[in-house]
Amino acid sequence: MRERSAVLLGAVAALGLTATAVAAPATAAPAEAAPSSRLTDTVTDVPDEDKVVLFAVDGFDADYLDGRADLPNLEALARRGALSTGTGVMSSMTNQSWSSVATGAYPERTLNASYYLDPVTGTVRGQSRAIAVETLGEALAGAGKTVASVQWFILQNRGVAYGDPEALYTQPGGTCERRGDDAVAILEGRPVDSGGTAVTVPEVPDFLAVYCDDVDGAGHTTGEDSAATVAALERVDEQIGRVVQATKDAGTYGRTTFVLLGDHGFTSYDHVNGPQTEAAVEALGYEAEWVGTGRAPAPGTQVVLAGGGLTSVHLVGNLAGDGGALARIEAALADVEGIGRIYGKDDQAAMRMAPVYGDLVVEPAPGWAMFAADADHTRGRHGTSQELEVAFLLSGAGVQPGVAPAGARHVDVAPTVAHLLGVPAPAGSQGRVLAESLVTARR
């Protein structure tokens, strides 16, 4: 299994290869006859209907393209385009990442952030869906395009909504198979449950997003290299095959561009250093506290630690704005075992992070997480600069086979999709159209 997939996918196993195409050579043998979850060659095209299908696969690390999983449907798409590596945003948390995919803007502009002390409420905030700029869903709907999102939650009420057949949101929950059920039903013109109401879309949507988080769940629970993670990848691939086949059955396959990417990668860990981090600060004579989501620091706390992948360090009370204390804390944290990198405010700005993070942002080294207790087995985490590289696919109509985009980024997805559908990029977008991978015109 690994050997067969590695022919197509092995070239992107190293994280630095952000623009390396891994499409199969033109002389590659056709795929074997496959069960119904794989693609068939029966195609009846409906002309002049440009479509885009986005597969948003939570946790699809670029390393997963090394052949560890049998991904025949992804391979089939890659032969009609290019499968390469894309780069995410900091921090590499789910909502921040999808916010940038959905807008074309970095967190500095979306203002989406995770696990920090909110100076307005005085409490720690976890992940949110707050986005300060226009989304792709809003841009498409505003231009008269039809949109559907199967649990790609970042567009809910930001371009799609329950019960709207022309801008539809569904949230079937469960596994990727249930998401596939909804996507296929939409493409086949059958009713789907949308917030308790049965809705049938009037036509195949111009833009369809399908979100699956099976890989993310397995990665967190068992680590990036587990059999469970491989199995999750293969289940997602089956649903990719079902959705692509449904576009063939609907007659839109020949006019459909397929995009696939992950929001973040994964790093496995066996050790934690949260208690050591707190102890290092308190050894300086300062009152430090790990503060959970939705909670406020206790009276007298001087250093707030808010964690979730990264740790946001906020100096509060009589330490707020104390440069000397900040320097001493940074030096102490640098000596804690398992600390990888520490970013000051200038570093955060250079990485185009949301401006609400603390005086310092601290990330663990590989193999470590900044949690409070050791797990009894290997697990996975993300949120740091170590999980920025993800799988990235462009395939199908309007795409030049074998030509991978140069340095594809999350922020390039929205402007590229908008371009393929003939509408302006969302207002606030900072990305670019990946024109080098596209044909000059689709019509």
Among 24-28, 59-63, 230-234, the minimum mean pLDDT is found in 24-28
Domain with CATH 3.40.720.10 in the chain: 2-26+44-112+128-266+384-437
Q: In 3D, which of 215, 174, 210 has the Cα closest to residue 382?
A: 215
Instruction: Quote the pLDDT of residue 38.
Output: 37
Q: Which residues contact 396 (CB under 8 A, 6 or more apart)?
A: 77, 80, 81, 253, 256, 257, 258
Model pLDDT, residue 48: 62
139 phi/psi in degrees, rounded to 5: -65, -45
Q: Using the structure block, give the residue that is written with the tokens 């590989």.
A: 366
Strands 51-57 and 256-262, how do they pair? parallel
pLDDT of residue 376: 76
User: Which comes out higher in pLDDT, residue 307 or 42?
Assistant: 307
Mean pLDDT of 368-388: 90
92 close to 382: Cβ distance less than 8 angstroms: yes
Burial profile 179-203: b = 16 or more Cβ within 10 angstroms, e = fewer: bbbbbbbbbeeeebebeeeebebee
Which of 17 and 320 is assigned the larger pLDDT?
320
Which superfamily is assigned to 2-26+44-112+128-266+384-437 in CATH?
A: Alkaline Phosphatase, subunit A (3.40.720.10)
Report residue 2's pLDDT band, with 50, 70 and 90 as the boundaries. very low
- pLDDT over threshold 90, residue 71: yes
- Paired with 303 in beta bridges are 288, 315
Helix residue ranges per DSSP H, 351-401? none
Token pair for 417: 């999709």
Rg (CA), the chain: 22
Task: Decide if pLDDT at 1 tops 60.
Answer: no
DSSP 110: H
- Tell me the C-alpha distance between 136 and 116, whole Å: 27
- State pTM to two decimals: 0.90
- For 348-362, give the DSSP string: HHHTT--TTS-SEEE
In whole angstroms, give the CA distance from residue 435 to residue 211: 25
pLDDT on residue 375: 66
Tell me the C-alpha distance between 188 and 182, whole Å.
Answer: 10
Are 266 and 59 within 8 A, CB to CB?
A: yes
State the average pLDDT over residues 321-347: 98
CA 435 to chain centre: 22
The pLDDT value given to residue 372: 81
Q: Which residue has the higher pLDDT, 125 or 29?
A: 125
pLDDT at residue 236 in the model: 98
Structure tokens at 314: 């906020």
Sheet containing 310-315, strands listed edge to edge, beginning at the edge strand earlier in sequence: 288-290, 303-308, 310-315, 360-364, 339-343
Predicted confidence (pLDDT) at residue 403 exceeds the cutoff of 60: yes
Torsion of CA 102, 107, 110, 115, to 10 degrees: 100
The pLDDT value given to residue 49:
81
* Spatial separation of the C-alpha atoms in residues 442 and 435, rounded to whole Å: 12
Average pLDDT over the chain, rounded to an integer: 90
Domain at 268-376, CATH class? alpha beta
411 pLDDT higher than 70: yes
Q: What would the DSSP string read from start to end of 125-189?
A: E------SS--HHHHHHHTT--EEEES-GGGBTTTBBTT-TTEEEE---SSHHHHHHHHHHHHHT
Cα–Cα dist 215/211, whole Å: 11
The answer to whether 140 touches 416, Cβ cutoff 8 Å, is: no
- CATH 3.30.1360 domain range(s) in the chain: 268-376
The Cα–Cα gap between 413 and 104 comes to 7
Angle of helix 227-250 relative to helix 176-188, nearest 10 degrees, comes to 0
pLDDT computed for residue 41 by the predictor = 42
Residue 115 DSSP code: S
pLDDT digits 0-9 by tens, 13-60? 332 333 333 333 232 333 333 333 434 444 444 446 899 999 999 999
d(C-alpha 95, C-alpha 91), whole Å: 10
Q: What is the DSSP string of 87-108?
A: E--SS--HHHHHHHHHHS--HH
Confidence of residue 441 (pLDDT cuts 50, 70, 90): low
Q: Which helix (H) or strand (E) holds 198?
A: strand 197-199
